[in-house]
Amino acid sequence: MEREQALKFVHELLRAMLAKKASDLFLTAGFPPAMKVDGKMTPVSQRSLSPIHTAEISRSIMTDKQAAEFEATKECNFAISPSGQPVFSNPTSPDTSASGVAPSFPSRPVPRTSS
């Protein structure tokens, strides 16, 4: 999966989260992408993500500095904001069930602050 394709995929999932009022989005190697809707894990696809796809998706939303931090510490906290969408925080940590990483996106947008 190319970077632009992975980024588009994440943005589509974030928009779907907002539409479904999901509380979290999970991208975990060996499982289909899933959202927590009304407290229940709800797969958004029947197709499981491979460890490679999960890593590519996670990397697509990181800056080079964030990717370096993740490689060094095996965790990274940052926020993303698809064009015209709220800001989502993204704590990323190693996926212990399979190789790859497991980002989680809480649906409650992070308040924007003035710089």
pLDDT at position 107, please? 56
Task: Please check whether residue 114 lies inside any domain of the structure.
Answer: no
Cα–Cα distance, 90 to 105 (Å, whole number): 5
Residues 6+ apart with CB under 8 A from 5: none
Reported as a pLDDT band with limits 50, 70 and 90, residue 92 is: low
pLDDT at position 40, please? 94
* pLDDT of 10 above 80: yes
Task: Please check whether residue 17 lies inside any domain of the structure.
Answer: yes
Domain encompassing residue 8: 3-106
Q: pLDDT, tens digit, for every residue of 40-60?
A: 999 999 999 998 888 888 888
Give the chain's mean pLDDT: 77
Q: Pairing mode, if any, of strands 76-80 and 34-37?
A: unpaired
Residue with tokens 């927590």: 36
pLDDT at position 86, please? 59
Q: What is the mean pLDDT of residues 80-86?
A: 67
Token output for 98 = 């399979």
Q: Structurally, how many domains does the chain consist of?
A: 1
pLDDT at position 97, please? 46
Task: Please check whether residue 112 lies inside any domain of the structure.
Answer: no
pLDDT at position 96, please? 45
Q: Any idea what the CATH number is for the domain that residue 59 is in?
A: 3.30.450.90
The pTM for the full model equals 0.71
Task: Please check whether residue 115 lies inside any domain of the structure.
Answer: no
